[in-house]
Structure 1
Amino acid sequence: MSGKFKAIIAGGGFGGLTAATALAQRGWSVTIYERQPEIRAAGAGIYIWENGLRILEALGADVVTKDSFRGLAMEQRGHDDSVLDPGDFPPSVRLITVTRKDLLAGLRRAAEKAGVEIRTGAEVIGAGSEGDLHFLGAHAEKADLAIGADGVWSMVRRSLGLELFHQQTDEGALRTIIPGTPKDLGPDGQDKYIECWSGERRFLITPLNHREIYLALTCQKTDLAGKKSPLDKESWKASFPRWAHLIDRTDQMLAWAPYSIVKVRSWSSGRTAIIGDAAHAQPPNLGQGGGMAMQSALALAVHLEGIADRRDIPDRLARWEEKERPLAEHCQRWSCLYGEVSMLPDATRAKVVSNGMADAWVRNEILRAARSIPTGTEALG
């Protein structure tokens, strides 16, 4: 491509940075508009499955280090700390966990290396279907392509009339990173992630490296003690006494927040597209929210390769959505289904988890995205 095409992107998160980098690497002039005064991550830790690792490699994004934790299983434990499912991963499926700020920093470095311009403090309040973004102060920018990577409350999605459904879940989580090492998971847990269930509460333990552990404490919105901020440590230790030593280390917590589920009529309108949470927000139960954002973003750039006339962009975007949307919605559907397990009584849930995860079909459906070959990574083998 000659480099004459220009893209403007609302949002400097995982999807926005991935799309920007991939387009710039293919000759586009790209500008990201981020409403925050700086590019920064919201949240604590993040899971990068095999599909996400392939995307980072394709982009040349330096995120994973020798110190990054690679778990070999996602072990499920019941209210009595019994193992419901060992959760061993197939050898071909890697899972690495890092801090969200480290993933964002690596993607930003790749974007800047590719020549992407990043403008902060620029709040997008709307968009049009002709590749235009609208800002506070009656200002607008226009390009060959506009992308809304502006999250669950996307103004781009809403202004284009693409939203069909946006619901916040009754379940939500408090999150934090504490000092710790994999050894804190005990001799039988040092090479894995552990998710524990007790009543309608969940306690997810995610080592990030040899210094930090990410904790997610999940409960229903009606659980006033569970969602209390600052954290009611005694209440959570009563639910998960085996992990009292980790709960005692919690300090600054991200306040309890529900998850969003977003469904849309289309991923694009004219020459303006939406990606990531703006298009298919989902609960984090499969750990694929960020992965799907990056996967659809890279695929978008690939589908625009070799384009000679911007009038062809809407057709390319339609092909991109036709290919990528089924997997994103599969992840959304299964993530929602997984969340329903938290509402089951302990004894019933133990049977459902043990029997369900022992079924090869169920496990394959849960790992479908992780086992996929993202568009644009085929050459990696």
Structure 2
Amino acid sequence: MLWLLVVGGRPALGWGGVGREVWRLYHHWYGVLAHGTFPAHDPLWQYPPGAGPVLLAPALLPGLTYFQAFVVLTLAADAAVTAALARAGTRPGRSLRGAAYWTCGLPLLLHLPLARYDVQVTALAVIALLTATRSPRAYGAFAALGALVKVWPVLVLLGVARGRDTRSAWTWAAGTGATALAVLAALFAHPLAFLRQQGGRGVQIESLGGTVLGLATHAGWPGTVRYRYGAMEFTGPYVGTVARLSLLLTGLALALMLLWRLRAGHRTPATPADAALSAVLLFTVTSRVISPQYLIWLLGLAAVCLTSRHTAQRPVAVLVLAAAAVSAVVYPVLYDQVTACTWTGCALMVVRNGLLTAAAVRSCTRVWRATRLDTAPPAPRGGRGAVVPAPASGPRLLH
């Protein structure tokens, strides 16, 4: 991956340089953030205020250029994820498949993970889920920190057990998030400027709606592709309708997961991670934007699922792996075909988004089935909650 990053400008690796976003865009934002303000007037700034410290972090390594320091910190986050998954996999009832999945799956995205800060965000979500059964407080705190960097990690809290664990996790999430936001608001001006930029987003060519519009160009639809808000987006008739439909589907997906939470009965140690993967998959496929780095999130969540022998997401993890491999072909290798909406580009998007949609549907279905009340272990003889009487006489054996 490091070698690909060094030679990333070669034509064989496709359209544009993947690392350009770090040394041009991130470095520019670093200069703005260093003066105590978020890039409020930059239409490309669409990230919550927690992204600020991540983009400033390369200053902690003064002997390196910004690009080099960013990559080193990304590798450190990757190592933290691997170590956390490996440690979790050695516990009783756990498996090292999660660590192997992350280690072998991430390079399928070529050098892209080293030139985006999604590995750092995924690390916070992974650590949150791995602490879910042992410390609901840490679970909530890490999820809140991840949500402040990129919003999606808040979804990992959907699977927390009802009752005391829910109160503890959400209380600590709210407290940690509010405290961190207050600190960032005190240190930087315009911490909520990203909301205005997010509202203007259109339909990215790599989204599910974008795939439909790309195919529509071959049926005579007159839309075009333009660079807007840091992504290649469609412009033309019906684009606004597709964008609104995507938002509606995202709302319905969230409602579906909330309904699952209300009706879920039986739980396993894998339920928090399984529900998190399902929720983020639904969020991804219904989004107006499906950037290739979104696959980093899914690989990390699938890896957490695979650390548990109770997970219901093994087939889903395979689909995510396949989608990651196709994503690398979509970007950067054949991105010129995708932006031109050629038949090759459209076929790639149909395959990649078809895999993600199949993964989302199967993930949601398996989560619902695994948590039905009738899947719970049978109650002891004598009925649910029956007490087995102790022997009337004889010595008690202590084991």
Pair in the same fold by TM > 0.5? no
Structure richer in strand, relative to its length: 1
Structure with bigger helix share is 2
TM (norm. structure 2) is 0.27
TM-score by length of 1: 0.28
Larger radius of gyration: 2
